[in-house]
Amino acid sequence: MAKDILSVLKEKRLYFDGGTGTVLQGMGLPAGMSPELWNIERPDLITRLHMDYIESGSNIIKTNTFGINANKFDNYEELIRAGINCAKRAAEDHEDVFVAFDMGPCGRMLKPLGDMDFEDAVELFAKNVRIAADCGVDAILIETMNDSYETKAAVLAAKENSDLPIFVTNVYDESGKLMTGANPLAMIAMLEGLRVDALGMNCSLGPDKMCGILEEFIRHASVPIIVNPNAGLPVARDGKTVFTTDAEEFSGYMLKMAKMGASILGGCCGTTPEYIKKTIEKTNNLPYSLPDVKNETVVSSYTHGVLIGKKPLLIGERINPTGKKKFKEALKADDINYILGEAVRQEEAGAHILDVNVGLPEIDEPSVLKKATFEIQAVTNLPLQLDSADGDALDGAMRIYNGKPLVNSVNGEKEKLDRILPLVKKYGGTLIALTIDEEGIPDTALGRVAIAEKIVAEAKKYGISKKDIIVDPLVLTVSSDTANARITLDALKLLKERGLATSLGVSNISFGLPCREKINSTFFALALENGLDLAIMNPFSREMMDTYYAFNVLNNSDYVCGEYIEYANGLEQSNEAKTVASEPSGGLKYSVEKGMKNSAVNDAKELISREEPLAIINNYIVPALNYVGEQFDKKKLFLPQLLMSAEAASAAFEVVKGSMPSSEQSSGKKIVLATVKGDIHDIGKNIVKVIMESYGFTVYDLGKDVAPQKILECALENECKLVGLSALMTTTVPAMEETIKLIKESAPGTKVMVGGAVLNAEYAGMINADFYAKDAMEAVKLAEAFYA
Amino acid sequence: MIPVEYGCIPIEDISINAYELKKRLNIEGEADFSQFEKIATKVKAEVSCKYVAVCTDVKYGEDDNLDIGYGPFKSRQLCKNLKGAKRIIVFAVTLGTGVDRLLMRLSSLSAAEYFVADAVASAIAEGAMDKAEEIVKKDMKTRPRFSAGFGDFYIENQKGILKLLNAEKLLGITVSDSFLMSPMKSVTAVMGVE
């Protein structure tokens, strides 16, 4: 019978090998040379390295393939096959030794922090996995991952291209987080959701520093835990690099971690066969058991996990077009910044999770939900609830989500269950289960509970446990039947008695009634008392937030009333701010000149009642901007002040625009703005955008790293005759030139203005730009002249 | 063997480089920085500063060619800067991805805050380089530090420098096809040892 690493792991503690680079340098590997090249050049030495570790007692050896991928080596396949051969040759006479195919980071940061697409990263790892699966290995080890998102890409590649067991170790620093911010709970939630077989930590720290991180793993992980530390930190001593922890001290800490509950032990940088040998000597006879399966309901973002069921939590409902005219317009216009602003403001208002719903009949929901998810997760730390009735939309968004999402929703209908449950099995997630099925919504609490139980049973068939299901017993408005509230409240109680977590869209209760907040907040309090864990609600509602914080105090869920006091203090401060803002200011012109955004909005609102909109723009906003522009030109004011004034002007402009007939709202002046392909510096472009908008331009902002074709399409689609391009680096100016060439060929008559640190008028002329602007004010003047 | 050292620099040990801040804010003459204090506090809260350094031999070839450990390249200005130094310290610092995230968040909320925060972060990165320089040179006498991207010490050298430093593994710094580093507020430099 073929050996099976997972069966063996159930019975006994396993031991990885240790460092590779350290040992190979000792064997003569020149500094700066990639160790993987020796798979072909010196296979004898690579095999010797593995054998040394096997002789020291390691029973999982890592192939010498850490840094290999198609982007780094043209002959990646040959190197991988040679590396696996070396490991298999070393292990061939050892029944109890397993070969783990080693995959390290791909060497590029994924978007949005870097420039690599998520799917490109998945494919890059997939190429490696397919070769490893073909060669035949016992497991895949994804290791030394600094980034949760890249980790997910590698795990998906492993799952989609092999049936091999998947082990994952990440690099935690002294703050106990990955470089890109994830804490252990976030990684455990995401990786267990993705169904990896073992997880843990490696590299970066010595074993002493890993004990604290291991504690978190022991507390939350349900699968075996791997610990592969460095031999302390490298330091330069007498012209040589040495590590601070010797084998004796190292193995002492490993003994401690084995006792704490680590299932697989090994080493990373600086460790040698001696370190592994001593570790095995000290730990081999210790009692062994796998971690307990934890009954925790968790969702996660790229930074942290949120435990559901400990105390009630709030899901911000504002990212949803239903009943929101401005939101609908933003969605149709692809105005992602509006949505991002809603996300950040809800986080600041106290939401713990954000609902993301972009369902509108006239938009392509799968593509928009995916884009919104990608963009929102870049600006908020909160976990997201991906909310759609469209299975394809959920599929795309769950795939690119950086963490373990809440998935809204499944219900008791067979078609829904068959579509959504496989997605949760594949990508991980916690499900919202609605108590409705083909027969409709039961009108008794017990009827709703029965549907919940049916969903739980069905999910179990996919290996989705009860802890990953949150039941929404549904709220029907009391305006149609006053018994509705009681049915929902009773259902909440019954569900809690059966050990299920609960969720509700609270404000549905008052639909069709006046003064809805009064009904909503009272129902909210009752629902909390009956066991509501997650409330989908508006975090900007004062009444609802009052109820939430007060309930937690009265329910003994707010230790020493800390959160309540902080909330109350925030209310007092905002009242004071309102008092200050309502005091007479120096007028709209003054507010814009001084860059006082809130005052400018209040002044504009006040003026609207007595002056014509166009008069406000021409007599207050434009003169203020002109004055600020002049001061900027004379170097009496600087860019930060100019920007603050522009933002104040834009905010006032929005107020004034709202009271203009729609035919007059557009000035007709428009511009497409983009930072060119390959360049991710968007500060300059953003400055131009803000100032253009303050002068009444309609700006189509395509963002950064934008392909030439996309810029052309935007100009054609919006019949925009002026395009502004930005580039900061000499290496990206060719992309600018290429964009200009495409625009000239395909949209004759469209003019291109360029700017950026590396450009000057002469250079701009060489790449055939029509205008060069040295700064944002000049860009506005050129654009104004173009449209004059 | 190339001696390597790396570690963290606490934010309290980093001074904001005033010259860099003024340059980034496009401010000339006297300036009152107190108005930016609130944003600076936000940026500082996100900084997780790490550095790595190696000290290696310099090999000089003909026509301003040289090799500092990752293969030969030509740079007249770097040769001039090094003045024939036989050893060189190569080092990098990064402020981490938290700063990048903050900047992304601000970019969707306020261009003014984004602009100021970016300038402050750049000035902190320069301050961190000042501190890292102090740590790694110890009592060695060195030439002024010099970074890839200046003059004919082309930005393309960034890949070799980061590989030499093992900066991807130790600091999490990666470099794109257009030689941009991620995290964005990362800086590399070299200093000849006299």
Q: Chain B closest CA to A711's CA: distance in Å? A: 20
Q: What six digits make up the tokens of A366?
A: 């799968």
Q: Which residues of A touch B31 (CB under 8 A)?
A: 638
Q: What six digits make up the tokens of B110?
A: 């306020």
DSSP calls for A735-776:
HHHHHHHHHHHHSTT-EEEEE-TT--HHHHHHTT-SEE-SSH
- Mutation pick from A302, A339, A342, A686 vs chain B, by most beta carbons of B within 10 Å, is A686
Predicted pLDDT of residue A757: 79
Contact B3 A236 (CB under 8 A): yes
Q: What six digits make up the tokens of A394?
A: 């959920």
Query: What does the alpha-carbon distance between residue A62 and residue A138 come to, in Å, rounded to a whole number?
Result: 10
Q: Is A650 on the interface with B (CB under 8 A)?
A: no
- Residue pair A193/A429 in contact (Cβ under 8 Å)? The answer is yes
- Mutation pick from B178, B179, B181, B184 vs chain A, by most beta carbons of A within 10 Å, is B178
Predicted pLDDT of residue A1: 40
Query: What does the alpha-carbon distance between residue A262 and residue A264 come to, in Å, rounded to a whole number?
Result: 6
What would the pLDDT profile of A40-89 be if each residue is shown by its tens digit? 999 999 999 999 999 999 999 999 999 999 999 999 999 999 999 999 99
Residue B121: closest CA among B146, B145, B100: B100
Query: What does the alpha-carbon distance between residue A406 and residue A425 come to, in Å, rounded to a whole number?
Result: 13
Q: Is A582 on the interface with B (CB under 8 A)?
A: no
Predicted pLDDT of residue A2: 54
Q: What six digits make up the tokens of B58?
A: 């310099």
Question: Does residue B104 surpass a pLDDT of 70?
Answer: yes
* Helices H / strands E in chain B, number of each: 7, 9
Query: What does the alpha-carbon distance between residue A474 and residue A509 come to, in Å, rounded to a whole number?
Result: 10
Residue B66: closest CA among B130, B181, B146: B146
Q: Which residues of B touch A702 (CB under 8 A)?
A: none
**One-letter amino acid of A256:** K
Residue of A nearest to B53 (CA): A236
Residue A735: closest CA among A710, A713, A700, A699: A710
Residue B55 φ/ψ, nearest 5 degrees: -120, 125
Predicted pLDDT of residue B1: 43
Of the candidates A107, A203, A638, the beta carbon closest to that of B174 is on A107
**What's the angle, vertex CA A697, arms to CA A692 and CA A701, rounded to 5?**
70
Query: What does the alpha-carbon distance between residue A497 and residue B48 come to, in Å, rounded to a whole number?
Result: 45
Q: Which residues of B touch A690 (CB under 8 A)?
A: 111-112
Query: What does the alpha-carbon distance between residue A71 and residue A619 come to, in Å, rounded to a whole number?
Result: 59
Query: What does the alpha-carbon distance between residue A613 and residue A608 come to, in Å, rounded to a whole number?
Result: 7
Q: What's the average pLDDT block by block, 10 residues per block, for chain A (788 residues)? A: 84 96 87 89 97 97 97 96 98 94 94 92 98 97 96 98 98 90 97 98 88 96 97 76 90 97 95 97 95 96 95 96 83 81 92 95 91 94 96 98 97 96 98 97 97 98 97 96 96 97 96 94 97 96 96 94 93 67 67 86 88 86 86 80 85 82 73 90 82 87 90 93 89 91 94 89 91 89 91
Predicted pLDDT of residue A521: 96
- Residue pair A273/A55 in contact (Cβ under 8 Å)? The answer is yes
**Residue written as tokens 């290696």?**
B56
- Residue pair A115/A108 in contact (Cβ under 8 Å)? The answer is yes
Those of residues 749-788 in A touching chain B at CB distance below 8 A are: none
Q: Which residues of A touch B152 (CB under 8 A)?
A: none
Q: What six digits make up the tokens of A336?
A: 């992602």
Q: Chain A closest CA to B109's CA: distance in Å? A: 6
Contact A379 B105 (CB under 8 A): yes
Predicted pLDDT of residue A666: 67
Q: Exposed, middle or buried by CB within 10 Å (0-12, 13-18, 19+), for A32?
A: middle
Contact A639 B98 (CB under 8 A): no
Contact A640 B69 (CB under 8 A): no
Residue A671 φ/ψ, nearest 5 degrees: -150, 140
What would the pLDDT profile of B20-56 be if each residue is shown by its tens digit? 888 888 787 776 777 788 899 999 999 999 999 999 9
Predicted pLDDT of residue A775: 85
**One-letter amino acid of A738:** E
More confident residue, A423 or B111: A423
**In 3-state terms, what secondary structure has residue A721?**
coil
Q: How far is CA A123 from the centre of its chain?
A: 20
Query: What does the alpha-carbon distance between residue A316 and residue B16 come to, in Å, rounded to a whole number?
Result: 37
pTM over 0.90: no
**Mode of pairing for the β-strands spanning B87-94 and B186-193:** antiparallel
Residue of B nearest to A646 (CA): B112
- Residue pair B71/B160 in contact (Cβ under 8 Å)? The answer is yes
Residues found in chain B = 194
- Mutation pick from B59, B115, B161 vs chain A, by most beta carbons of A within 10 Å, is B115
Q: Is A27 on the interface with B (CB under 8 A)?
A: no
Contact B168 A241 (CB under 8 A): no
Q: How far is CA B23 from the centre of its chain?
A: 16
Instruction: With residue B47 as reference, give the H or E element that holds it.
Output: none
Residue B90: closest CA among B139, B41, B132, B47: B132
- Mutation pick from B54, B139, B168 vs chain A, by most beta carbons of A within 10 Å, is B168
